[in-house]
Protein backbone atom coordinates (compact mmCIF):
# COMPACT_ATOMS: atom_id res chain seq x y z
CA UNK A 1 0.00 0.00 0.00
CA UNK A 2 1.18 3.51 -0.75
CA UNK A 3 1.18 6.34 1.76
CA UNK A 4 -0.72 9.02 -0.18
CA UNK A 5 -4.08 8.43 1.54
CA UNK A 6 -2.55 8.60 4.99
CA UNK A 7 -3.70 12.19 4.99
CA UNK A 8 -6.62 14.49 5.74
CA UNK A 9 -9.26 15.36 3.18
CA UNK A 10 -8.61 19.09 3.39
CA UNK A 11 -5.12 18.66 1.95
CA UNK A 12 -6.70 17.49 -1.32
CA UNK A 13 -9.51 20.06 -1.34
CA UNK A 14 -6.94 22.84 -0.87
CA UNK A 15 -5.05 21.51 -3.88
CA UNK A 16 -8.25 21.51 -5.94
CA UNK A 17 -8.98 25.13 -5.03
CA UNK A 18 -5.39 26.16 -5.72
CA UNK A 19 -5.44 24.44 -9.11
CA UNK A 20 -8.67 26.26 -9.90
CA UNK A 21 -7.44 29.76 -9.02
CA UNK A 22 -3.92 29.33 -10.36
CA UNK A 23 -1.97 29.40 -7.09
CA UNK A 24 -1.07 25.69 -6.96
CA UNK A 25 2.34 26.26 -8.58
CA UNK A 26 3.41 29.07 -6.27
CA UNK A 27 6.73 28.20 -4.62
CA UNK A 28 6.26 27.81 -0.86
CA UNK A 29 8.20 27.04 2.29
CA UNK A 30 6.59 25.06 5.11
CA UNK A 31 8.17 24.69 8.55
CA UNK A 32 7.68 22.05 11.26
CA UNK A 33 8.07 23.17 14.87
CA UNK A 34 6.45 22.88 18.29
CA UNK A 35 5.32 25.85 20.34
CA UNK A 36 5.92 24.26 23.72
CA UNK A 37 7.21 21.19 25.54
CA UNK A 38 5.40 19.37 28.38
CA UNK A 39 6.21 21.12 31.66
CA UNK A 40 8.15 18.13 32.94
CA UNK A 41 10.40 17.85 29.87
CA UNK A 42 13.46 20.03 29.48
CA UNK A 43 14.17 18.98 25.89
CA UNK A 44 12.57 17.04 23.05
CA UNK A 45 14.13 14.43 20.78
CA UNK A 46 13.46 14.47 17.05
CA UNK A 47 12.60 11.01 15.73
CA UNK A 48 10.80 9.71 12.69
CA UNK A 49 12.75 11.64 10.06
CA UNK A 50 13.91 8.45 8.39
CA UNK A 51 10.35 7.12 8.35
CA UNK A 52 9.12 10.35 6.75
CA UNK A 53 11.70 9.96 3.99
CA UNK A 54 10.80 6.30 3.47
CA UNK A 55 7.11 7.21 3.26
CA UNK A 56 7.87 9.99 0.79
CA UNK A 57 9.25 7.42 -1.65
CA UNK A 58 5.89 5.66 -1.78
CA UNK A 59 3.75 8.79 -1.70
CA UNK A 60 1.89 7.96 -4.89
CA UNK A 61 -1.81 7.93 -5.76
CA UNK A 62 -2.50 4.46 -7.15
CA UNK A 63 -5.32 3.79 -9.66
CA UNK A 64 -7.61 2.18 -7.08
CA UNK A 65 -7.09 5.11 -4.72
CA UNK A 66 -7.85 7.62 -7.45
CA UNK A 67 -10.94 5.65 -8.40
CA UNK A 68 -12.16 5.79 -4.80
CA UNK A 69 -11.48 9.54 -4.54
CA UNK A 70 -13.47 10.10 -7.69
CA UNK A 71 -16.33 7.86 -6.65
CA UNK A 72 -16.57 9.62 -3.29
CA UNK A 73 -16.37 13.00 -5.04
CA UNK A 74 -13.56 14.14 -2.79
CA UNK A 75 -12.02 16.18 -5.62
CA UNK A 76 -12.79 16.90 -9.27
CA UNK A 77 -11.37 15.27 -12.41
CA UNK A 78 -8.71 17.93 -12.92
CA UNK A 79 -7.37 17.34 -9.42
CA UNK A 80 -7.47 13.57 -9.91
CA UNK A 81 -5.32 14.02 -13.01
CA UNK A 82 -2.84 16.09 -11.00
CA UNK A 83 -2.75 13.49 -8.23
CA UNK A 84 -2.20 10.67 -10.72
CA UNK A 85 1.10 12.25 -11.74
CA UNK A 86 2.09 13.49 -8.29
CA UNK A 87 5.77 13.29 -7.42
CA UNK A 88 7.48 15.45 -4.83
CA UNK A 89 10.28 17.32 -6.63
CA UNK A 90 11.19 19.84 -3.94
CA UNK A 91 13.67 20.20 -1.10
CA UNK A 92 13.58 19.05 2.51
CA UNK A 93 16.10 20.11 5.13
CA UNK A 94 15.97 19.78 8.88
CA UNK A 95 17.55 18.67 12.11
CA UNK A 96 19.34 15.34 11.88
CA UNK A 97 17.22 12.61 13.42
CA UNK A 98 18.14 12.09 17.07
CA UNK A 99 18.89 15.77 17.62
CA UNK A 100 17.42 17.43 20.70
CA UNK A 101 14.99 20.28 20.06
CA UNK A 102 13.16 23.07 21.90
CA UNK A 103 10.10 25.31 21.43
CA UNK A 104 10.26 27.09 18.04
CA UNK A 105 13.08 24.86 16.75
CA UNK A 106 12.54 24.56 12.95
CA UNK A 107 13.05 20.79 12.96
CA UNK A 108 12.02 20.32 9.31
CA UNK A 109 11.64 22.69 6.35
CA UNK A 110 9.78 21.59 3.21
CA UNK A 111 10.06 23.64 0.02
CA UNK A 112 8.18 23.09 -3.23
CA UNK A 113 5.08 24.24 -5.02
CA UNK A 114 2.07 24.72 -2.80
CA UNK A 115 0.30 21.71 -4.30
CA UNK A 116 3.17 19.27 -3.84
CA UNK A 117 4.24 20.50 -0.39
CA UNK A 118 0.86 20.89 1.29
CA UNK A 119 -0.05 17.28 0.52
CA UNK A 120 2.74 16.10 2.85
CA UNK A 121 1.48 17.93 5.93
CA UNK A 122 -0.57 15.22 7.63
CA UNK A 123 1.89 12.42 6.93
CA UNK A 124 4.87 14.42 8.18
CA UNK A 125 3.08 15.43 11.37
CA UNK A 126 1.69 11.94 12.02
CA UNK A 127 5.16 10.43 11.91
CA UNK A 128 7.15 13.14 13.68
CA UNK A 129 4.62 13.76 16.46
CA UNK A 130 4.37 10.08 17.36
CA UNK A 131 8.00 9.07 17.00
CA UNK A 132 9.38 12.19 18.68
CA UNK A 133 7.04 11.69 21.65
CA UNK A 134 8.31 8.14 22.12
CA UNK A 135 11.95 9.13 21.64
CA UNK A 136 11.60 12.05 24.07
CA UNK A 137 10.26 9.66 26.72
CA UNK A 138 12.87 7.04 25.87
CA UNK A 139 15.70 9.56 26.26
CA UNK A 140 14.60 10.37 29.80
CA UNK A 141 14.52 6.65 30.55
CA UNK A 142 17.96 5.87 29.18
CA UNK A 143 19.30 8.95 30.97
CA UNK A 144 17.80 7.76 34.27
CA UNK A 145 19.20 4.27 33.67
CA UNK A 146 22.73 5.72 33.17
CA UNK A 147 24.85 2.73 32.07
CA UNK A 148 22.21 0.04 32.57
CA UNK A 149 20.57 -1.07 29.32
CA UNK A 150 16.91 -0.41 28.55
CA UNK A 151 14.86 -2.87 26.48
CA UNK A 152 11.66 -2.00 24.60
CA UNK A 153 8.75 -4.40 25.04
CA UNK A 154 5.59 -2.36 24.50
CA UNK A 155 4.14 -3.86 21.31
CA UNK A 156 0.99 -5.17 22.94
CA UNK A 157 0.14 -1.70 24.24
CA UNK A 158 0.06 0.00 20.84
CA UNK A 159 -1.40 -0.29 17.35
CA UNK A 160 0.53 -2.93 15.46
CA UNK A 161 2.27 -0.44 13.15
CA UNK A 162 2.74 2.11 15.93
CA UNK A 163 4.53 -0.64 17.86
CA UNK A 164 7.12 -0.96 15.08
CA UNK A 165 7.58 2.81 14.94
CA UNK A 166 7.89 3.02 18.72
CA UNK A 167 10.58 0.35 18.80
CA UNK A 168 12.52 2.30 16.18
CA UNK A 169 12.11 5.60 18.05
CA UNK A 170 13.25 3.97 21.29
CA UNK A 171 16.40 2.75 19.54
CA UNK A 172 17.11 6.31 18.40
CA UNK A 173 17.09 7.36 22.06
CA UNK A 174 19.39 4.60 23.28
CA UNK A 175 17.29 1.48 23.89
CA UNK A 176 19.43 -1.54 23.00
CA UNK A 177 16.80 -4.15 22.16
CA UNK A 178 13.16 -4.67 21.23
CA UNK A 179 10.68 -7.50 21.59
CA UNK A 180 9.14 -6.56 18.21
CA UNK A 181 10.30 -8.83 15.40
CA UNK A 182 9.08 -6.61 12.56
CA UNK A 183 11.07 -3.70 13.96
CA UNK A 184 14.08 -5.98 14.07
CA UNK A 185 13.57 -7.03 10.46
CA UNK A 186 12.96 -3.55 9.05
CA UNK A 187 15.59 -1.63 10.95
CA UNK A 188 18.21 -4.15 11.98
CA UNK A 189 17.41 -3.84 15.67
CA UNK A 190 18.45 -6.47 18.19
CA UNK A 191 15.42 -8.52 19.24
CA UNK A 192 14.96 -9.89 22.74
CA UNK A 193 12.53 -12.16 24.62
CA UNK A 194 12.34 -15.59 26.24
CA UNK A 195 9.14 -16.65 28.01
CA UNK A 196 6.08 -15.28 29.80
CA UNK A 197 4.18 -16.53 32.83
CA UNK A 198 1.93 -18.54 30.52
CA UNK A 199 4.85 -20.83 29.68
CA UNK A 200 5.44 -21.61 33.34
CA UNK A 201 1.73 -22.14 33.97
CA UNK A 202 1.54 -24.51 31.00
CA UNK A 203 3.77 -27.00 32.75
CA UNK A 204 2.97 -29.20 35.73
CA UNK A 205 5.59 -27.43 37.82
CA UNK A 206 8.13 -24.62 37.64
CA UNK A 207 11.07 -26.99 37.32
CA UNK A 208 9.63 -28.51 34.15
CA UNK A 209 9.09 -25.09 32.59
CA UNK A 210 12.62 -23.95 33.39
CA UNK A 211 14.12 -27.20 32.13
CA UNK A 212 12.22 -26.94 28.85
CA UNK A 213 13.40 -23.37 28.29
CA UNK A 214 17.01 -24.14 29.14
CA UNK A 215 16.92 -27.18 26.85
CA UNK A 216 16.20 -25.00 23.80
CA UNK A 217 17.72 -21.64 24.76
CA UNK A 218 20.74 -22.77 26.77
CA UNK A 219 21.80 -21.82 30.30
CA UNK A 220 22.52 -18.21 29.30
CA UNK A 221 18.80 -17.60 28.91
CA UNK A 222 16.65 -15.36 31.14
CA UNK A 223 14.24 -17.19 33.43
CA UNK A 224 11.09 -15.53 34.79
CA UNK A 225 11.13 -16.38 38.50
CA UNK A 226 8.09 -14.66 40.00
CA UNK A 227 5.19 -16.84 38.79
CA UNK A 228 4.89 -18.43 42.23
CA UNK A 229 7.43 -17.76 44.98
CA UNK A 230 10.46 -15.68 43.96
CA UNK A 231 13.00 -17.27 46.32
CA UNK A 232 12.00 -20.79 45.31
CA UNK A 233 11.98 -19.70 41.67
CA UNK A 234 15.54 -18.44 41.93
CA UNK A 235 16.70 -21.61 43.65
CA UNK A 236 15.08 -23.78 40.96
CA UNK A 237 16.44 -21.61 38.15
CA UNK A 238 20.04 -21.96 39.34
CA UNK A 239 19.67 -25.66 40.07
CA UNK A 240 18.41 -26.33 36.53
CA UNK A 241 20.52 -23.87 34.51
CA UNK A 242 23.59 -23.92 36.72
CA UNK A 243 25.60 -21.03 38.09
CA UNK A 244 26.12 -19.81 34.51
CA UNK A 245 22.45 -18.80 34.25
CA UNK A 246 22.27 -15.65 32.14
CA UNK A 247 19.60 -13.70 33.99
CA UNK A 248 16.43 -13.81 36.04
CA UNK A 249 13.48 -11.51 35.42
CA UNK A 250 11.27 -9.89 38.06
CA UNK A 251 7.89 -8.64 36.87
CA UNK A 252 5.89 -7.83 40.00
CA UNK A 253 6.04 -6.67 43.59
CA UNK A 254 8.50 -4.24 45.13
CA UNK A 255 11.20 -4.51 42.50
CA UNK A 256 13.91 -2.75 44.50
CA UNK A 257 13.51 -4.89 47.62
CA UNK A 258 13.20 -8.04 45.56
CA UNK A 259 16.32 -7.19 43.57
CA UNK A 260 18.36 -6.91 46.79
CA UNK A 261 17.06 -10.24 48.07
CA UNK A 262 17.54 -12.00 44.74
CA UNK A 263 21.08 -10.64 44.34
CA UNK A 264 22.03 -12.00 47.76
CA UNK A 265 20.46 -15.35 46.94
CA UNK A 266 22.12 -15.63 43.55
CA UNK A 267 25.52 -14.81 45.02
CA UNK A 268 25.04 -17.34 47.82
CA UNK A 269 24.23 -20.00 45.22
CA UNK A 270 27.40 -19.19 43.28
CA UNK A 271 25.56 -17.48 40.41
CA UNK A 272 27.50 -14.27 40.85
CA UNK A 273 27.39 -13.45 37.14
CA UNK A 274 23.65 -13.94 36.74
CA UNK A 275 21.98 -10.63 35.91
CA UNK A 276 18.69 -9.24 37.20
CA UNK A 277 16.22 -7.75 34.74
CA UNK A 278 13.13 -5.92 35.99
CA UNK A 279 9.90 -5.15 34.16
CA UNK A 280 6.35 -4.18 35.25
CA UNK A 281 5.01 -0.75 34.15
CA UNK A 282 8.32 1.09 34.40
CA UNK A 283 8.77 4.74 33.47
CA UNK A 284 11.65 7.18 33.89
CA UNK A 285 10.74 7.86 37.52
CA UNK A 286 10.60 4.18 38.44
CA UNK A 287 13.92 3.61 36.68
CA UNK A 288 15.50 6.49 38.60
CA UNK A 289 14.13 5.12 41.88
CA UNK A 290 15.90 1.81 41.22
CA UNK A 291 19.32 3.39 40.66
CA UNK A 292 20.66 2.30 44.04
CA UNK A 293 19.42 -1.29 43.72
CA UNK A 294 21.25 -4.25 42.12
CA UNK A 295 19.31 -4.15 38.85
CA UNK A 296 21.17 -4.88 35.61
CA UNK A 297 18.62 -3.92 32.95
CA UNK A 298 15.11 -2.54 32.51
CA UNK A 299 12.30 -3.76 30.29
CA UNK A 300 9.88 -0.94 29.47
CA UNK A 301 6.51 -1.20 27.75
CA UNK A 302 3.34 0.83 28.19
CA UNK A 303 4.81 4.12 29.42
CA UNK A 304 7.39 4.13 26.65
CA UNK A 305 5.15 3.47 23.64
CA UNK A 306 2.55 5.98 24.88
CA UNK A 307 5.08 8.79 25.40
CA UNK A 308 5.11 8.58 29.21
CA UNK A 309 2.42 11.18 29.71
CA UNK A 310 2.88 13.08 26.43
CA UNK A 311 1.72 10.95 23.47
CA UNK A 312 2.33 13.77 20.98
CA UNK A 313 4.82 16.61 20.63
CA UNK A 314 2.33 19.20 19.41
CA UNK A 315 4.31 19.77 16.22
CA UNK A 316 2.71 21.89 13.50
CA UNK A 317 3.37 22.32 9.76
CA UNK A 318 3.04 25.99 8.89
CA UNK A 319 3.42 27.94 5.67
CA UNK A 320 6.07 30.58 6.42
CA UNK A 321 6.91 31.89 2.94
CA UNK A 322 5.31 31.89 -0.50
CA UNK A 323 6.09 33.24 -3.92
CA UNK A 324 4.80 36.78 -4.42
CA UNK A 325 3.93 38.69 -7.55
CA UNK A 326 7.58 39.65 -7.92
CA UNK A 327 8.53 36.00 -8.21
CA UNK A 328 10.48 36.17 -4.92
CA UNK A 329 9.61 34.35 -1.72
CA UNK A 330 7.78 36.55 0.78
CA UNK A 331 7.25 35.86 4.51
CA UNK A 332 3.75 34.94 5.67
CA UNK A 333 2.63 34.29 9.24
CA UNK A 334 -0.40 33.27 11.26
CA UNK A 335 -1.52 35.92 13.78
CA UNK A 336 -4.25 34.08 15.71
CA UNK A 337 -3.95 34.48 19.50
CA UNK A 338 -1.89 31.71 21.17
CA UNK A 339 -1.20 30.12 17.77
CA UNK A 340 1.07 32.66 16.16
CA UNK A 341 3.85 31.75 13.77
CA UNK A 342 6.92 33.66 12.63
CA UNK A 343 7.11 34.27 8.90
CA UNK A 344 10.04 33.59 6.62
CA UNK A 345 12.42 30.72 6.00
CA UNK A 346 14.52 29.83 9.02
CA UNK A 347 17.48 27.68 9.84
CA UNK A 348 19.08 26.98 13.22
CA UNK A 349 22.30 26.45 15.15
CA UNK A 350 23.30 25.41 18.64
CA UNK A 351 25.48 27.93 20.48
CA UNK A 352 28.29 26.31 22.48
CA UNK A 353 30.58 27.62 25.19
CA UNK A 354 34.35 27.15 25.30
CA UNK A 355 33.87 23.65 26.74
CA UNK A 356 31.51 22.55 24.00
CA UNK A 357 28.49 22.79 26.27
CA UNK A 358 25.29 24.13 24.68
CA UNK A 359 24.10 27.49 25.98
CA UNK A 360 21.37 28.49 23.50
CA UNK A 361 19.23 27.42 20.56
CA UNK A 362 19.71 29.99 17.79
CA UNK A 363 16.96 30.41 15.18
CA UNK A 364 18.29 32.24 12.12
CA UNK A 365 15.96 34.38 10.01
CA UNK A 366 16.05 37.24 7.55
CA UNK A 367 15.96 37.65 3.76
CA UNK A 368 15.24 34.30 2.12
CA UNK A 369 18.39 34.07 0.02
CA UNK A 370 20.62 34.90 2.99
CA UNK A 371 18.97 32.31 5.23
CA UNK A 372 19.08 29.63 2.54
CA UNK A 373 22.83 30.06 2.10
CA UNK A 374 23.77 30.84 5.72
CA UNK A 375 26.67 29.08 7.34
CA UNK A 376 28.13 29.95 10.78
CA UNK A 377 31.14 32.23 10.69
CA UNK A 378 32.17 31.58 14.31
CA UNK A 379 33.24 28.36 16.02
CA UNK A 380 30.68 28.71 18.80
CA UNK A 381 27.73 27.91 16.51
CA UNK A 382 26.99 24.34 15.39
CA UNK A 383 24.60 24.31 12.40
CA UNK A 384 21.60 22.03 12.90
CA UNK A 385 20.05 21.73 9.44
CA UNK A 386 21.15 18.97 7.09
CA UNK A 387 19.87 18.14 3.58
CA UNK A 388 17.27 15.37 3.58
CA UNK A 389 15.70 15.58 0.10
CA UNK A 390 17.25 17.36 -2.89
CA UNK A 391 15.11 17.94 -6.01
CA UNK A 392 12.82 15.15 -4.87
CA UNK A 393 15.62 12.63 -4.29
CA UNK A 394 15.82 11.20 -0.76
CA UNK A 395 19.23 11.08 0.90
CA UNK A 396 19.61 7.39 1.79
CA UNK A 397 21.91 8.13 4.73
CA UNK A 398 18.86 8.85 6.86
CA UNK A 399 16.77 5.75 6.01
CA UNK A 400 16.74 2.06 6.92
CA UNK A 401 18.96 0.44 9.52
CA UNK A 402 21.84 2.80 8.75
CA UNK A 403 19.57 5.78 9.42
CA UNK A 404 18.59 4.43 12.83
CA UNK A 405 22.23 3.90 13.74
CA UNK A 406 23.17 7.40 12.64
CA UNK A 407 20.23 8.86 14.59
CA UNK A 408 21.22 7.00 17.76
CA UNK A 409 24.77 8.35 17.49
CA UNK A 410 23.49 11.88 16.90
CA UNK A 411 21.22 11.65 19.92
CA UNK A 412 24.01 10.49 22.20
CA UNK A 413 26.20 13.41 21.15
CA UNK A 414 23.37 15.97 21.24
CA UNK A 415 22.19 14.99 24.72
CA UNK A 416 25.73 14.94 26.07
CA UNK A 417 26.19 18.49 24.83
CA UNK A 418 23.24 19.85 26.85
CA UNK A 419 23.66 21.54 30.26
CA UNK A 420 23.80 19.10 33.17
CA UNK A 421 20.40 20.22 34.44
CA UNK A 422 18.76 19.03 31.23
CA UNK A 423 18.59 15.50 32.63
CA UNK A 424 16.59 16.41 35.73
CA UNK A 425 13.21 14.68 35.83
CA UNK A 426 11.51 17.40 37.84
CA UNK A 427 9.27 20.07 36.32
CA UNK A 428 11.22 23.14 35.26
CA UNK A 429 12.33 25.39 32.45
CA UNK A 430 13.56 24.00 29.16
CA UNK A 431 17.27 23.25 29.08
CA UNK A 432 18.18 25.93 26.54
CA UNK A 433 16.77 29.38 25.82
CA UNK A 434 15.89 30.11 22.19
CA UNK A 435 17.42 33.23 20.70
CA UNK A 436 17.04 34.84 17.28
CA UNK A 437 19.74 35.81 14.81
CA UNK A 438 18.39 38.09 12.07
CA UNK A 439 20.46 38.37 8.92
CA UNK A 440 20.54 41.57 6.87
Is residue 85 domain-resident? yes
Residue in 204, 218, 132, 205 with CA at minimum distance from that of residue 168: 132
- Are 407 and 329 found together in one domain? yes
Please give the C-alpha separations between residue 338 and each of 170, 330, 345, in angstroms, as whole numbers. Answer: 32, 23, 21
By the 8 A CB rule, do 134 and 310 touch?
A: no
Is residue 32 domain-resident? yes
pLDDT tens-digit series, residues 47-96: 999 999 999 999 999 999 999 999 999 999 999 999 999 999 999 999 99
Predicted local distance difference test score (pLDDT) of residue 339: 72
Mean pLDDT, to the nearest integer, of 406-431?
96
Task: Select from 292, 326, 355 the last residue of a domain.
Answer: 292
- Are 338 and 277 found together in one domain? no
Is residue 375 domain-resident? yes
Predicted local distance difference test score (pLDDT) of residue 48: 98
- Are 279 and 215 found together in one domain? yes
- Are 284 and 233 found together in one domain? yes
- Are 45 and 91 found together in one domain? yes
* Structural domain of 272: 194-292
Separation between Cα atoms, residue 437 and residue 440, nearest integer Å: 10
Is residue 182 domain-resident? no
Task: Select from 242, 260, 292 the last residue of a domain.
Answer: 292
Predicted local distance difference test score (pLDDT) of residue 336: 72
Rg of the chain on CA atoms, in Å: 25
Is residue 185 domain-resident? no
- Are 340 and 286 found together in one domain? no
DSSP 96: P
Predicted local distance difference test score (pLDDT) of residue 354: 96
Is residue 40 domain-resident? yes
- Are 285 and 332 found together in one domain? no
Task: Select from 235, 259, 292 the last residue of a domain.
Answer: 292
pLDDT tens-digit series, residues 303-338: 999 999 999 999 999 999 999 999 999 999 988 767
- Are 329 and 395 found together in one domain? yes
% of the chain surpassing 90 pLDDT: 97
Mean pLDDT, to the nearest integer, of 208-222?
98
- Are 429 and 340 found together in one domain? yes
- Are 337 and 280 found together in one domain? no
Predicted local distance difference test score (pLDDT) of residue 1: 64
Helix (H) or strand (E) holding 82: helix 77-84
Is residue 248 domain-resident? yes
Averaged confidence pLDDT in the chain:
96
Separation between Cα atoms, residue 26 and residue 21, nearest integer Å: 11
DSSP 421: G
DSSP per-residue letters across 206-271: HHHHHHHHHHHH-TTSEEE--SS-HHHHHHHHHHHH-TT--EEEE-SS-HHHHHHHHHHHHHHTT-
Q: What are the two backbone dihedrals, phi and then psi, of residue 348, each rounded to the nearest 5 degrees?
A: -155, 160
Overall domain count for the chain? 2
Separation between Cα atoms, residue 290 and residue 288, nearest integer Å: 5
Longest distance between any two alpha carbons in the chain, whole Å: 82
- Are 335 and 401 found together in one domain? yes
- Are 319 and 373 found together in one domain? yes
Domain holding 94: CATH number?
3.20.140.10
Is residue 426 domain-resident? yes
Domain holding 217: CATH number?
3.20.20.70
DSSP per-residue letters across 331-359: E-----TT-----S--EEEEEE-TTS-EE
Mean pLDDT, to the nearest integer, of 252-257?
96
Amino acid sequence: MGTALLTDRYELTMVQAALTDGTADRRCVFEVFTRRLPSWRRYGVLAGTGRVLEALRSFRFEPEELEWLGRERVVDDRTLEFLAGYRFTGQVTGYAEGETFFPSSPVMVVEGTFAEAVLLETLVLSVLNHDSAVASAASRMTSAAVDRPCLEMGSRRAHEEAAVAAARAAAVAGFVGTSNLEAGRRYGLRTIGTAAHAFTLLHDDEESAFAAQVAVAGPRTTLLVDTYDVARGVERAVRIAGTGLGAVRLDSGDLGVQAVEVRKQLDSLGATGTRITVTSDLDEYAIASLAAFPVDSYGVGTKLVTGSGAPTCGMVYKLVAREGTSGELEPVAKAATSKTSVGGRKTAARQLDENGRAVAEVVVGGPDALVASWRPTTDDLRPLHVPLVTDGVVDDRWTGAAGVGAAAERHTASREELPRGARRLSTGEVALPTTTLTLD
